[in-house]
Amino acid sequence: MIRASKKENSLQLSAFLRSACSLGTLVVACACGDNVEFLNSRVEERDVFAQSDDTLLEGVEESNGDVGQESNESSQEESPGDNEQVLEPSCDGCDVWTTAASMNIARRNFSATTLNDGRVLVVGGEGDSALSAEIYNPESDTWSFTSAPTYPRTLHSATKLKDGRVLIVGGIRFGAQGGEGVVESEIFEPESETWVEVRDVSLGRYGHSASLRSDGSVVLAGGMQTFEQEGFFTPGPCESFEIYNPATDRFSSGPQHINGRTYHGVALTSDDSVIIMGGAAGRDEWRSVEIFGSNNTLELGPELPVDRIAPTTLVLEDGGVVLMGGQSSSGNPYSNAYRLTQNNGTWRWTSFGGDLSQGRADMRSASAGNGDTLIVGGSREANSMATVDRFNSATGTLSSYVSMREARSEHQALTLLDGRVMVMGGTLKTTDVDGNQRRETLASSEWIRVGTSQD
């Protein structure tokens, strides 16, 4: 088990945050059910089914064939048209990205939540956006400021509770001593647009996952925490799960992690088990899988074939979990996908039978109104991406889809109540031919309505 004594005390927290953000953030959650999320990103998990072969992955080693990269692409700025799938629109207004109104503040590493009335709440982010919140009205295509949260934060989680309120937990804030993990939690009340403080968590974690179970409780897993040392804060992995009970408005400690981690994959199964996969902790990255059961017991699952940081996941209708994308500790992006299935009480990894069109990490996912899922943007080494992949729920296949208007990573994607997929904010990271890197925080938004699959 990773303990605080193993943290890299010489690592400055701000430098760690930058390097961690370059690894990417994972996207798993429900746009309307909100039952799984990671770093505030949302992906619908309903009505999804996939086929896969039953080839057991034994002794699979990391190789060039497993890494979805092409070295001549990674050094160039990606434009929205690069690798774009050209489709004939399947309905009037479908399969075309449309520019929406821009947020009032450019944001990256923030949270975005679809509220029960159809509006969208965004909270926090790095820099000037840390102590602010905005609401998007899809009917008028307008953004407006709402009451600011009590505490500034970025890399936090936002979970829509069963009653429609939004629970904000953790994150990190910066001061004279560097970055400090946020222990204070608060809830946004959509009707009054006000904030209510709730009980503190025991650990000020950031880069964690938050999963909403069917009983309304919220499971916090992984992430990093900060320790004060010689007047400055330094990071180390969180060692235990925590569970929020909305009935008592309290957090309680769960079991200790077998391997502390952040930037991991997470999935919530139909029986309320939380599965965390891969990720990193300081300079260590993990192949291990932990399964936090509905009875709050913890067990090890089968190891991943390769170390994988910042992947994304889908939960299939038949109960299987697909893990795709992410990157290695050296920064090589993965395009391949694996499937985790349970048979007679035993979990195992098999090949999925389909890959992303490009290797990517830090992508976001959101369900389309027809039940398919879009995997949007992300990063490929030092560059943000505009490309999009589509998971076809009817055929269980992955294919390239229409690229966004802007390349972006550290962004958010969610599903509006009318089925449109909306993407907002993030970072445009580019590298020119001379190797010079640029980084721009975005305020822009865009949306698409996905038509009938043409696979």
Contacts (Cβ under 8 Å, ≥6 apart) of 384: 78, 377, 378, 407, 408, 409, 426, 427, 428, 429, 430
Q: What is the pTM of this model?
A: 0.82
The hierarchical CATH code for the domain 13-448 is: 2.120.10.80
SS (H, E, C) 363-432: CEEEECCCCCEEEECCEECCEEECCEEEEECCCCEEEECCCCCCCEECCEEEECCCCCEEEECCEEEEEC
C-alpha–C-alpha distance, residues 445 and 455, integer Å:
27
| Backbone φ, ψ for residue 66 (5° rounding) | -90, -15
Work out the number of other CB atoms within 10 angstroms of the CB of residue 5: 7
| pLDDT, tens digit only, all 455 positions of the chain | 222 333 333 333 343 344 443 343 333 333 333 344 433 333 333 222 222 333 333 333 333 334 433 333 333 444 444 455 555 656 777 899 999 999 999 999 999 999 999 999 999 999 999 999 999 999 999 999 999 999 999 999 999 999 999 999 999 998 766 788 899 999 999 999 999 999 878 889 999 999 999 999 999 999 998 766 666 677 788 989 999 999 999 999 999 999 899 999 999 999 999 999 999 887 778 899 999 999 999 999 999 988 899 999 999 988 899 999 999 888 889 999 999 999 888 999 998 878 999 999 989 999 998 889 999 999 988 899 999 999 998 888 999 999 999 999 999 999 999 999 999 999 999 988 888 889 999 999 999 999 876 54
Query: Would you give the distance in Å from CA 386 to the centre of its chain?
Result: 17
